[in-house]
Amino acid sequence: MNNSLSEDNEISSYTLELQSETEEYIKNYLKIDQKFFRKNHIGFLKKVVAHLPLSSGFISLDASKPWILYWTVHALDLLSYPLSKELQNRIISTLKNIQNPITGGFGGGPGQISHLATSYAAVNCLAIIGTTEAFEIIDREKMYKWILSLKLSNGSFMMAQDMEVDVRGSYCAVNIAKLLGILTDPLCEKVAAFICECQTYEGGIGAVPNVEAHGGYTFCALAAMEILKATETLKLNDLLFWAVSRQMTLEGGFQGRTNKLVDGCYSFWQGGLFPILSNYFENNDLYSKDFLQRYIFNCCQNSKGGLLDKPSKPPDFYHSCYVLSGLSTSQHEYNKDLEGNYAVSTIEEVENDWVDDNSSETSPKDNTDTFSTTVVNDYDSSLVIITLYSEM
């Protein structure tokens, strides 16, 4: 980055110039009172799941098949679009062929190595479908042993055998384990301590210790800590200050890191932090939900279908998933009751109008490798936030 000091002593830089250009461009879109193109978004998303197995046009994404299915299935679920039984079975069959018969994990495609990220996507996709047939394809014993084999002595997880280590691995591991009822003490040991080491001087959380805080890694870390019931071991005041500072003053959306541009996907990666944090600060108005929704409606929609990063960017399945997830979290309140059980209500519902998530099973209390014989019956996208989206 080339920094220079102008004659009037105002600091100029490439990133500041880009921010100024983005603001000027987005101002025009914020003046429009845009409607929500629900039917068009459904049509855009159905293009993928209606043509399984994936066509040759997806060759460049050959290692991301579980992600493509998760993004589209989750987004359709948020839009309250029911999948037909035939389509459910095709998705289940596709994911079954991607599962590694040796490790129990899922790769990016058939014959590819097991990876925590694609295993997370596959398991969460199957959990959204939520049928007995969906859960039956998962070999929980092999999955458990494989996840445990990726764990390092400091409590972190490799994303795959002999591959990178960061807090994504921590979140993917405990999320999968919680959904499948295999969240044991050996699996959880030292995980929270590693995540705490990744919190930066800014208050956000980086991929590993001593790197820059980032929205995606911060959500993964905070959601993992909530699953582990260790959230309060983080510096929550610092985390909240960092998170609220990421909402852009003019745009209303979120940036992923300090001094970066707004991006629609951070509607969830950053916006998803607040439903969790609200319970510790006893405040459901920690950020401007209306401001975020204005950015989403006016700047993140393609009128022909699909959601996007910002105006001038094309729609894609990744942004469709996370923009809708952010929109949903801004329209719901996530609460804990006195026993620590999770519940969610829409903004309009009374505070005590709970939604039963049937996810009250507990992991073993002894330090053994045994695990629960049940799985979570009602899907929760982060295992922390239930992002149910109703038609507008």
214: helix, coil or strand? coil
Q: Using an 8 Å Cβ cutoff, are 196 and 170 in contact? A: no
Name the pTM for this structure: 0.86
Q: Domain end: 92, 109, 137, which one? A: 137
Q: Of 74, 309, 334, 380, which residue is the catalytic one?
A: 309
Range of the domain at 111: 31-50+59-137
Q: What pLDDT does residue 201 have?
A: 97
221 and 163 co-located in one domain: yes
188 and 162 co-located in one domain: yes
130 and 152 co-located in one domain: no
Nearest partner of 391 among 107, 126, 60, 35, judged by Cα: 35
Q: Of 139, 238, 316, 357, which residue is the catalytic one?
A: 316
Tens digit of pLDDT at every position of the chain (392 positions): 333 334 455 778 999 999 999 999 999 999 888 899 999 999 999 988 777 666 666 777 778 899 999 999 999 999 999 999 999 999 999 999 999 999 999 999 999 999 999 999 999 999 999 999 999 999 999 999 999 999 999 999 999 999 999 999 999 999 999 999 999 999 999 999 999 999 999 999 999 999 999 999 999 999 999 999 999 999 999 999 999 999 999 999 999 999 999 999 999 999 999 999 999 998 989 999 999 999 999 999 999 999 999 998 999 999 999 999 999 999 988 877 766 676 777 765 433 332 333 333 333 333 334 444 444 444 444 433 333 222 22
Residue 124's Cβ-count burial label (10 Å; 0-12, 13-18, 19+) is: buried
Q: What pLDDT does residue 291 have?
A: 96
392 and 292 co-located in one domain: yes
146 and 94 co-located in one domain: no
Whether residue 3 is contained in a domain is answered as no
102 and 149 co-located in one domain: no
Q: Of 41, 115, 294, 319, which residue is the catalytic one?
A: 319
Whether residue 167 is contained in a domain is answered as yes
Q: Is 316 a catalytic residue?
A: yes
110 and 209 co-located in one domain: no
Cα separation values, 312 from 69, 299, 307, Å? 25, 9, 12
Q: Of 46, 145, 235, 260, which residue is the catalytic one?
A: 260
Q: Is 51 a catalytic residue?
A: no
Q: Is 38 a catalytic residue?
A: no
Q: Of 266, 318, 322, 379, which residue is the catalytic one?
A: 266
Whether residue 234 is contained in a domain is answered as yes
Whether residue 23 is contained in a domain is answered as no
Whether residue 168 is contained in a domain is answered as yes
Whether residue 190 is contained in a domain is answered as yes
294 and 387 co-located in one domain: yes
Q: Is 265 a catalytic residue?
A: yes
Q: Is 266 a catalytic residue?
A: yes
300 and 223 co-located in one domain: no
206 and 300 co-located in one domain: no
Number of domains in the chain: 3
Q: Is 309 a catalytic residue?
A: yes
294 and 347 co-located in one domain: yes
Q: Of 65, 115, 166, 263, which residue is the catalytic one?
A: 263
Q: What pLDDT does residue 6 have?
A: 41
Q: What pLDDT does residue 55 have?
A: 65
Q: What pLDDT does residue 336 have?
A: 74
What residue type is 183 in one-letter code? L
Whether residue 293 is contained in a domain is answered as yes
Q: Of 74, 178, 257, 294, which residue is the catalytic one?
A: 257
Q: What pLDDT does residue 112 have?
A: 95
88 and 153 co-located in one domain: no
